[in-house]
Amino acid sequence: MTSVSFFLIQLLGLAGSLIAITALQSGSRKKILSLQLLCCVLWVVHYGLLGAWTGVLINLIGLGRAAVCACNDRPWAKNPLWLVFFLVCYGVSPLLTWDGAYCLLLGGAMMLTTVALWVHDMRLTRLLFLLNSPLMLLYNLMARSYSCAAIEVAALASFALAVWRFDIRKEVCKS
């Protein structure tokens, strides 16, 4: 792989990550989900070009998860069996694409993310995203997805700040 192609591969991952971060600034749920689908496609290509097959499969599952979330106003999409289904898929996918123990990091991270997106307790959601971030960071470093790892450092800082602001500091102020 030439340095130019490696740089372009990193740009694909960076584009997906930046879209993911900025998507949350949209006021439209439909737009957020559409951008999430675009991120997953960019990450599938990014990880595929890196040969990181766990990242490819995880993001293909993410496409399905985003599609179910887009329909969560319908009774069939609210069924808790979807949570179980996606947790099993994320748990099994590293085993199907095994390239070493580091593949388990991404499966675990996506399981935490899935639960975080499912629950309605914001304190738990923030904690799960905070726990997810180091796993994502380590996976990205080991998969040579340095652009995604760099963005994950910013995400980790953001999650830690949110937990501090909304969960820890409030508890300290109450006592």
Tokens of 20: 């993911």
List the single range of 24-28, 72-76, 90-94, 104-108 with lowest mean pLDDT.
Answer: 24-28
Q: What is the distance between the alpha carbons of residues 111 and 90, in angstroms, rounded to a whole number?
A: 6
Q: Contact 145/46 with Cβ under 8 angstroms?
A: yes
Q: What is the distance between the alpha carbons of residues 57 and 83, in angstroms, rounded to a whole number?
A: 17
Q: What is the distance between the alpha carbons of residues 130 and 1, in angstroms, rounded to a whole number?
A: 34
Q: Contact 40/60 with Cβ under 8 angstroms?
A: yes
Q: What is the pLDDT, as a whole number, of residue 160? A: 93
- Whether the per-residue pLDDT at 136 is higher than 80: the answer is yes
Average pLDDT over residues 94-114: 96
Average pLDDT over residues 122-129: 92
List the single range of 15-29, 100-114, 152-166 with lowest mean pLDDT.
Answer: 15-29
Q: What is the distance between the alpha carbons of residues 149 and 94, in angstroms, rounded to a whole number?
A: 19
Average pLDDT over residues 86-100: 97
pTM of the model: 0.89
- Whether the per-residue pLDDT at 24 is higher than 70: the answer is no
Q: Contact 70/47 with Cβ under 8 angstroms?
A: no
Report CA-CA distances (Å) from 115 to 7, 21, 97, 111: 34, 19, 22, 6
Average pLDDT over residues 73-82: 91
- C-beta neighbour count of 127 within 10 angstroms: 17
Average pLDDT over residues 119-140: 93
Q: Give, for 166, the enclosing helix (H) or strand (E).
A: none
Q: Contact 132/144 with Cβ under 8 angstroms?
A: no
- Whether the per-residue pLDDT at 27 is higher than 70: the answer is no
Q: What is the distance between the alpha carbons of residues 167 and 141, in angstroms, rounded to a whole number?
A: 29
Q: What is the mean pLDDT of the chain?
A: 91
